[in-house]
A = this chain, B = another copy of it.
Amino acid sequence: MEVHKVVPPPQRSTLKKLKNRLKETFFSDDPLHQFKGQSCKKKWILAAQYFFPILQWCPTYSFKFFKSDIVSGLTIASLAIPQGISYAKLANLPPIVGLYSSFVPPLVYAVLGSSRDLAVGPVSIASLILGSMLRQEVSPTKDPLLFLQLAFTSTFFAGLFQASLGILRLGFIIDFLSKATLIGFMAGAAIIVSLQQLKALLGIMHFTKQMGVVAVLSSVFHNTDEWSWQTILMGFCFLVFLLLARHVSMKNPKLFWVSAGAPLLSVILSTLVVFVSKAQNHGVSIIGKLEQGLNPPSWNMLHFNGGHLGLVLKTGLITGIISLTEGIAVGRTFAALKDYQVDGNKEMMAIGLMNIVGSCTSCYITTGAFSRSAVNHNAGAKTAMSNIVMSVTVMVTLLFLMPLFRYTPNVVLGAIIVTAVIGLIDIPAAYLIWKIDKFDFVVCVCAFLGVIFISVQDGLAIAVGISIFKILMQITRPKTMMLGNIPGTDIYRNLHHYKEAKAIPGFLILSIEAPINFANSSYLNERISRWIQEYESEEEVPKHSDIQFLVLDLSGVSSIDTSGVSFIKDLKKTMEKRDLELVLVNPVGEVMEKLQQANKAHNFLSVDSLYLTVGEAVASLSSKMKGQISNHV
């Protein structure tokens, strides 16, 4: 039988290997691919289009597209105006900041962003986190100006951080927020946000400043005398209306305009009701007088020194990561639906720049919101032009319509927020996670419980910590499997998986399924001793077949480090002491290379202890074994 040699991979210099590794790490999507072999002028055009995606779609923009974008832009504007006001209140900021934030950032994104469906503006979770983190040090009621300054500064840092991640091509950091973490986190945050709305929905004046479930509920039931029946009645009616509208749109996506228009309609209706009935004199709290006019500049409000620098850095980091994760996930989801590509690192730069510009023009943190982007998509948006349309609509509102919101009751804003965040609780997805992977479900539950009982940022940190711990545990305790031959073939598979596979007498064939490194080499050592022990004490195997060969299938070992090499070296020695021959099968490129390097220093591997397949190793060693026996006889 022909036996194939295991050869080391073609020689490459350390520099080349390093270059390749860096490319895989930071440029895995090969962004320069399209530049290859183009003329110089073309390269300039491509580069401009790369940095300003608007140049890609603008030249071929048609009137037909514009019609679609007008419809979708107006639709999301009708959603963005009430949500903007509501989310700004969630962040403890003046309501008008929410509208400012729906004006400038969409314009910036339309120029820089590569997603066609993303509808940009303030979002619930980032607003909640920003508000609750800043409130730890500064009171938004006692010192509103400082609070606003810190909010803008945090937004600036969030943007800076987001853009840096994109520029440094470290976008993979957001991958560490797994889907399971996000589902638990979102659900927890939705509950926290909804509980906060009990203040507005019940008309309570003295509400707790804490976020935890326990604190909020006890605050609600300690202030029952402050409950206002007029507020509760109005809140209940609009909540039912909004939830019904949401239900209709979910059942039939073509009726997207029902849920998209409902919030604005609720605002108009409730404002009229209050204006006519003068309910503000009967315990219904209203927004009050709002300023008019476009975003004032705010770069002079950014604070880079003083006692709160640590707080704004931390707040910027956390809100930056969270809003980035949401924006990228939303962008990718809709890109996959329409089959186009969204470049994660470029998106980060776009979102980051949008927030930096926003922080200088009285906007707080913004990103692509899931619910609004879904409406945008359903309304038939073709390009980022719909963001421009929305932005213009908000501008008109800011210039002329602000006095109309004076009598808008806070309770309807609460109802709008609750309806928006309720969609973040995704029970079917959590159930599917439970069915597929129990450990992921544990991560999901930890994120959820952490958020509702400890705090939003700690819940997130716990869930990410557990996810990373799981990865490390998988490395520390890699799987080893005992292989057996499937009769009549050359195929070797796990004996405990394929019942038809049979062990070969005299051989213990193990497959290792992880990189061998410092974290697992002592475990592997122990585990292999145990395999030998178990194999020898197994009764099914005929007694005369003591193990003679230990065959290690290294196909699944993608890399090895110095501890791993020492492990192989020591294993070889130990096996020799026990009169066992260690044979390695199919070490892949890097592993083969390092074993060879180590072999130069301590000659521990001979040529005939390396085989390309398990089948060839067994065949070749069996004939050797028989040869020995016949010599012996």
A438 proximal to B (CB < 8 A): yes
Question: Is B613 within 8 A of A473, CB to CB?
Answer: no
Contact A566 B497 (CB under 8 A): no
Q: Complex: how many Å from CA A565 to CA B471?
A: 16
Report how far A474 CA is from B33 CA in the complex, Å: 24
**Stoichiometry, copies per complex:** 2
A435 touches B597 (CB 8 A): yes
Chain B: minimal CB distance from A197 (Å)? 31
Chain A contact surface mostly: helix
Chain B residues within 8 Å of A61, by CB: none
A574 and B519 contact, Cβ closer than 8 Å, known pairs A477-B25, A530-B28: no
Decide yes or no: A344 and B522 within 8 Å by CB, A440-B562, A496-B589 being known contacts: yes
A32 at the B interface (CB under 8 A): no
**Contact among B7, B18, B558, B563 for A513, CB-based, below 8 A:** B558
A169: interface (CB < 8 Å): no
- Within 470-526 of A, Cβ neighbours of B (below 8 Å) are at 471-479, 481, 486, 489-491, 493-494, 496-499, 513-515, 517-523, 526
With a cutoff of 8 Å between Cβ atoms, the chain B residues found around residue A435 in the complex are 597-598, 600-601
Q: Is the CB of B476 within 8 A of A172?
A: yes
A481 and B436 contacting across the interface, CB-CB below 8 Å? no
Asked if A406 is at the interface of the complex by the 8 Å CB criterion, the answer is no
**Per-residue CB proximity of A10-48 to B under 8 Å, as 1/0?**
100010001000001100111001000000000000000
Question: Are A556 and B339 touching (Cβ within 8 A)?
Answer: no
- Shortest beta-carbon distance, A614 to chain B, in Å? 11
Given contacts A477-B28, A494-B588, A530-B29, is CB(A179)–CB(B613) below 8 Å?
no
A interface residues with partner B (beta carbon < 8 Å): 4, 7, 9-10, 14, 18, 24-25, 28-30, 33, 172, 175-181, 332, 336, 339, 344, 432-433, 435-440, 467-468, 471-479, 481, 486, 489-491, 493-494, 496-499, 513-515, 517-523, 526-527, 530, 533, 555-556, 558-563, 565-566, 570, 574, 577, 586, 588-589, 592, 594, 597-598, 600-601, 612-613
A437-B594, A468-B472 given; name 5 further pairs at CB < 8 Å.
A30-B533, A175-B523, A176-B518, A344-B522, A440-B561
15 A-B pairs in the complex with CB atoms less than 8 angstroms apart: A4-B486, A7-B498, A10-B499, A14-B438, A28-B527, A30-B530, A176-B518, A178-B561, A178-B562, A336-B570, A432-B598, A471-B517, A475-B475, A497-B588, A514-B558
